Structure 1
Amino acid sequence: MPLGPLRQVAVVGIGMTEVARVSPRTALDFSAEALRSALDDSGLHRDDVDGLFTNVGFPLAVDYDRLAEAFGLRIRSAVQTWSHGRFVGPALQAAVQAVALGTAEVAACVGGVSFSRIGVVGGSGDVEGVRQGGGSHGELPQYGMTAPGAGAAMAFSRYCARYGLDPELIAAVPLAARRNARLNPNAQLTKPLELEDYRAAPYVVEPLRRPDFALLSDGGGALLVTTVERARDLRRPAVVVGGMQGLHAGHDEFIFAPPGLGVFTQTDERRPVRPADNPVYGMAGLAGPQDVDVLTLYDAFSPNVPFVLERFGFTGEGEALSWIQDGRIEVGGELPVNTAGGLLAEAHICGWGHFVEAVRQLRGEAGARQVAGCEVVQWATPFGDSVILSQDR
């Protein structure tokens, strides 16, 4: 039997726990609370859920089968990606595709994590970092590059050298994240950060300082997706999934650099962004990035912000680092980015907090950090994947 027509999909429920650097609670406990909150938010029942999607599993989180068993779910469509935060977008996309195709009616996206329980990140359990040929973050232990931050710092150094930019301009990213987080009562890091504080912070891998690195957190988040038709009969306003594009891979891709920057196997030739490079806008019925009200992105390291801006055409090549100055990406700025604080200041729950915040902005429920007239939110990463969410029109 051929596949039928695709169904339009919406986010109908969100849940997020309190977050902390160290908590006695388990990843399973966080996952349960987040899912329960999302169900309460939507008005759906546990028995309605027949799809389960996650981007993280053991040892940082809980594998999909254990989640289903513990929660008493009857799942007929499940996906668990490689245990890494950067797959949060693809995990949500898999859920959307399942509902659109009809292999699931209500899909739960769940991610509860406990960084404090796995000990030192980058240790013997980091299968990416120790794989043959080096890790996907750019880990090359034989050269002393033993952690993701080394690859991110190398790419940013290359970027600044290529365009003759002062690396200290990157301070605008953690300063904006911290100022946004101060408007978020659930943020992990709300202590004020000013430029002099940034300059006084130690280098972790030069030219990146401590505030340029994501937090480690214990906490959880969850989303529920179903058809737009069903969503309109539920408790909360539907947030429509308007467009998507997938995570990229290949010779010219490095997860912490735009294509053509000359990092690792990349070519050393960048080219102008073309509409065909980012079909997410056309799929969502948008003219381009100028139609986006809020941008949310995977900010594991500060340079991810300018790299996303350039990859998706918000600025031209080599222009984003200068463009983000003077509060442009803060709440109240020209393009608010990661309005809840992101991985740098709210919490690192492997990306789910970003999507929870996107839904809050579109519902008008973000409190002191609410962006006036927010109708379109884009999720994007320097690895090329993107999701556009919008109000139900």
Structure 2
Amino acid sequence: MTIRDRTAIVGVGTSRFSKAPTDTPMRLAAQAFKSALADGGVGRDEVDGLVINIGWPLGVDYDRFAEALGLRIRFADQSWTHGRFVGPTLQHAAMAVATGLARCVACVCGVSFIQERGLLGGPGDFEGTREEGGTHEENPVYGLTAPAAGAALSAQRYFALYGATSAELGAVPIAFRKHAALNPAAIMRSPLTLEDHQASRFVVEPLHLFDCCLVSDGAAVVLVTSAERARDGARTPVFIAGMQGMRAGPDEFLFATPGLGIGQQREFRYTPTEEQLSVYRMAGVTQKDVDALYTYDAFSPLVWFVLERFGFCGLGEAAAWTQKGRIELHGELPMNTSGGLLSEAHVSGWNSIAEIVRQLRGECGERQVRGARVMQWATAWGDSTIFHS
């Protein structure tokens, strides 16, 4: 049994993104939900499924959202409050529709990282004291309480193994800032140079300020329904062609490819297997068919890791591969064309899912990827979803 092309995204909506507190997560989510309904020509009463990956205290919980918006839900799902679950949450929505558990599922993310920023690192991060260690692979025992700590460990190790440099890493945020400059909704639109990147302070060495995502407020909603229903929608449907799940285990470190040797990982030369690239088989495409790639760019090194994890380049090659505009809008493989978490906003990756939909519908104006037909969401922790128009 395959899920290929059985479901589609029929509507997307976003709120205003801001670096200053403007509204509650519930109000932001409500704005995005109403926008998604209007975008897809979907009535509120058609929505009978609800999935959320960022709940209280950073976002909204499924029960309160359903009550506030007057929804009658027969399928609800909510994950651990972390942005990494954007892919699995979307996949749960697609599976719910494909199996008849719901007709139309709203994927809702309304967050305020600004108002609750004390919960992410430092003494207020109660999750960081869990028995198994920090939630972003940081280790509070050694004073590593910031989410950037795990990514910094992996970047430092990568630099040492492959001779990569911070200046090479700067190509990632610089590319995404160029994309954000073409996006009226993006928070950070001013030009970013390599000199700016290198002169910015370290957050956790070797990661500079511009290697770290925005801390912002905002919301995004994605409506998933059956392919048949989507074809009758107000806009061009975006089909979900293939997907694979998040990985976990001794060889996995959240912010690294397998084999890098961070934490309890074994150290070995990683080459993705067919099973680790099953998303392409399900979708019936290869990496060469992908017109643009989107990832959870909480920290710049994650872009390198996802390129190597999914076979777009070889192990240790991503630093050189991302130079000379290769991941920019008119490059070989455009990435995060809205600006991503580094420059558009931190809406836990849902802003990139909305961007994929708008790109495949040809609605992105100056930042439109020419001839876009196939786009991929993929993360350093192994999950992926492929979309096509």
Task: Tell me the TM-score range normalised by the shorter chain.
Answer: over 0.9
Deviation at 1:5, TM superposition (A): 9.4
Native 8 Å contact 2:244 2:278 kept in 1: yes
Give TM-score, length-normalised by structure 2: 0.97
| Local SS of the residue matching 1:258 | coil
- Which residue is 2:85 aligned to? 87
- Which residue is 2:284 aligned to? 285
- Which residue is 1:218 aligned to? 217
* Equivalent position to 1:387, from 371, 374, 385: 385
Deviation at 1:234, TM superposition (A): 1.2
Deviation at 1:275, TM superposition (A): 2.3
- Which residue is 1:374 aligned to? 372
Native 8 Å contact 1:243 1:280 kept in 2: yes
| Local SS of the residue matching 1:128 | helix
Deviations 1:225-253 (CA, angstroms, capped at 9, x unpaired): 11111111110111000000001100000
- Which residue is 1:321 aligned to? 319
- Which residue is 1:138 aligned to? 137
Give distance in 2, aligned partners of 1:54 and 1:334: 34
Native 8 Å contact 1:9 1:228 kept in 2: yes
Deviations 1:311-336 (CA, angstroms, capped at 9, x unpaired): 00000000011100011111111110
Deviations 1:198-217 (CA, angstroms, capped at 9, x unpaired): 11101111111000000011
- Which residue is 1:126 aligned to? 125
Q: Is the counterpart of residue 273 in structure 1 residue 256 in structure 2?
A: no
- Change in CA separation of 1:230 and 1:269 when aligned onto 2, cut-off 3 Å: same
Deviations 1:75-102 (CA, angstroms, capped at 9, x unpaired): 0001100001110111100000000000
The residue type paired with residue 36 of structure 2 is A
- Which residue is 2:65 aligned to? 67
Deviation at 1:17, TM superposition (A): 1.1
Runs of 4+ in 1 over 4 A off after TM superposition: 3-7
- Which residue is 1:102 aligned to? 100
Deviation at 1:105, TM superposition (A): 0.3
Deviation at 1:171, TM superposition (A): 0.3
Native 8 Å contact 1:129 1:147 kept in 2: no
* Equivalent position to 1:348, from 346, 349, 364: 346
Give distance in 2, aligned partners of 1:261 and 1:336: 26
Native 8 Å contact 1:6 1:101 kept in 2: no
Give distance in 1, aligned partners of 2:349 and 2:164: 29
The residue type paired with residue 203 of structure 1 is F
Native 8 Å contact 1:310 1:320 kept in 2: yes
- Change in CA separation of 1:6 and 1:259 when aligned onto 2, cut-off 3 Å: closer
Deviation at 1:127, TM superposition (A): 4.0
- Which residue is 2:155 aligned to? 156
Give distance in 2, aligned partners of 1:43 and 1:130: 45
Native 8 Å contact 1:31 1:112 kept in 2: yes
Native 8 Å contact 1:7 1:100 kept in 2: no
Give distance in 1, aligned partners of 2:46 and 2:71: 9
- Which residue is 1:169 aligned to? 168
Deviations 1:105-134 (CA, angstroms, capped at 9, x unpaired): 000001011122214232455343221131
Give distance in 1, aligned partners of 2:2 and 2:258: 36
- Over aligned residue pairs, what C-alpha RMSD do you find? 1.5
- Which residue is 1:16 aligned to? 14
Deviation at 1:4, TM superposition (A): 12
The residue type paired with residue 279 of structure 2 is V
* Equivalent position to 1:299, from 297, 300, 304: 297
Give distance in 2, aligned partners of 1:371 and 1:334: 11
Native 8 Å contact 1:171 1:195 kept in 2: yes
Give distance in 2, aligned partners of 1:41 and 1:136: 35
Native 8 Å contact 2:15 2:31 kept in 1: yes
- Which residue is 1:244 aligned to? 243
The residue type paired with residue 71 of structure 2 is L
Map residues 246-261 of structure 1 onto 2, 5 A cutoff.
246-261=245-260
Give distance in 2, aligned partners of 1:7 and 1:165: 40
| Local SS of the residue matching 2:218 | strand
| Local SS of the residue matching 1:34 | helix
Give distance in 2, aligned partners of 1:383 and 1:74: 34
Give distance in 1, aligned partners of 2:135 and 2:258: 15
- Change in CA separation of 1:137 and 1:164 when aligned onto 2, cut-off 3 Å: same
Native 8 Å contact 1:7 1:101 kept in 2: no
Native 8 Å contact 2:137 2:150 kept in 1: yes
| Local SS of the residue matching 1:174 | helix
Give distance in 2, aligned partners of 1:271 and 1:189: 35
| Local SS of the residue matching 1:151 | helix
Native 8 Å contact 2:9 2:237 kept in 1: yes
The residue type paired with residue 253 of structure 1 is E
Give unpaired runs (5+ residues) of structure 2: none
| Local SS of the residue matching 1:243 | strand
| Local SS of the residue matching 1:278 | helix
Give distance in 1, aligned partners of 2:122 and 2:182: 34
Give distance in 2, aligned partners of 1:117 and 1:166: 34
